[in-house]
Amino acid sequence: MADGRRGGGAVQSVERALDLLEVLAAAPDEMGVTELTEATGLPGATIHRLLATLLSRGYAHQDPVTRRYSLGSRLVRLGGSAGRRFGTWMRPWLVELMELSGETANLAVLEDSHVVYVAQVPSRHKVRMFTEVGNRLLPHTTAVGKVLLAFRPREVTGAVIARNGLPGRTGRTITDAGRLYRELEQVARRGYAVDDEEEEEGVCCIAVPVFGPDDAPAAMSVSGPTSRLGPGRRQRILPRMLRVSADASAALLSAGDPARRGDRHP
């Protein structure tokens, strides 16, 4: 095995193909073969061959005129199926969150600088939350968003903020970059984030991370009217939320083998 540092037996060409997809996903627009060469360190011929394979299956797209590459439409459908599936096997944890808090529980991921809600378990209250599955919100206004940002390298955070700006949604939204960075640091240290009417008046939200094999975490939250989620109640709920967070992460990371123990949480 050429790349001995990677875990177990991994298929080189598949890994490289995935690398390509990820580089393409991260890029703001289309990329040429040479750019990909620089980004991945692979020889052009190899990249071309890999791309040809992805191309023929619709996983990559090549602009007919510029000949540059980007992600293909096939991934849209796959992503949708994956989201549905992801929501399904995260459901037990969401249910747990909903039951321990009595409020609606959400699952979200960071996608193209936006927070996207992937699954939800609604509370039984008459007054419930509004976010719908599939909704896209800005990270800096939401608790899940702050969690998703807090556990990524600073440069990613910076890119996201540069792209979105920090528009205010309510009087309490954090619109100052310095303050946001301080808050994110705190979130990373504490392991949770709170949104106290920063996205919507009267709505409060508490979020915790879920770490998986993916380098970016997902986030789970509970959200409800501020009247029901005051500081006192939050203090009571939080320890149990953190515990669920850790449990869910452990479940995701254990791929059935006790050999690999990559603990990632603070």
Partner DNA sequence: CAGCCTATTCCACATGGTGGAAGCGATGCG
Partner DNA sequence: CGCATCGCTTCCACCATGTGGAATAGGCTG
34 near its own copies (CB under 8 A): no
Give the footprint of its own copies on residues 200-219 (CB under 8 A): 212-216, 218
Q: Which of 31, 36, 47, 54 binds its own copies (CB under 8 A)?
A: 54
55 near its own copies (CB under 8 A): yes
70 near DNA (CB under 7 A): no
62 near DNA (CB under 7 A): yes
Least distance CB 266 / DNA (angstroms):
21
How many CB atoms are closer than 10 A to CB 243? Answer: 13
The DSSP secondary-structure symbol of 28 reads: S
177 near DNA (CB under 7 A): no
- 207 bridge partner residues: 193, 221
Q: How many residues does the chain have?
A: 266
235 near its own copies (CB under 8 A): no
Interacting residues of 162 by C-beta distance below 8 A, sequence separation 6+: none
14 near DNA (CB under 7 A): yes
Give the footprint of its own copies on residues 79-138 (CB under 8 A): 79-86, 88-89, 109-112, 114, 116, 118, 134-136
Q: For the chain, what is the largest distance between any 2 Cα atoms, rounded to a whole number of angstroms?
A: 61
61 near its own copies (CB under 8 A): yes
- 224 bridge partner residues: 204
56 near DNA (CB under 7 A): no
- 194 bridge partner residues: 206
Least distance CB 13 / DNA (angstroms):
3
**Residue of 214, 219, 209 lying closest to 255 (CA atoms):** 214
Q: Which one of the spans 160-168, 176-184, 222-230, 253-261 is the region binding its own copies (CB under 8 A)?
A: 253-261
The DSSP secondary-structure symbol of 31 reads: B
Spatial contact of 178 and 215, defined as CB atoms under 8 Å apart: no
Assigned token pair, 61:
């797209």
Q: Which residues bind DNA (CB under 7 A)?
A: 1-3, 8-14, 16, 32-35, 42-46, 48-52, 62, 65, 67-68, 256-258
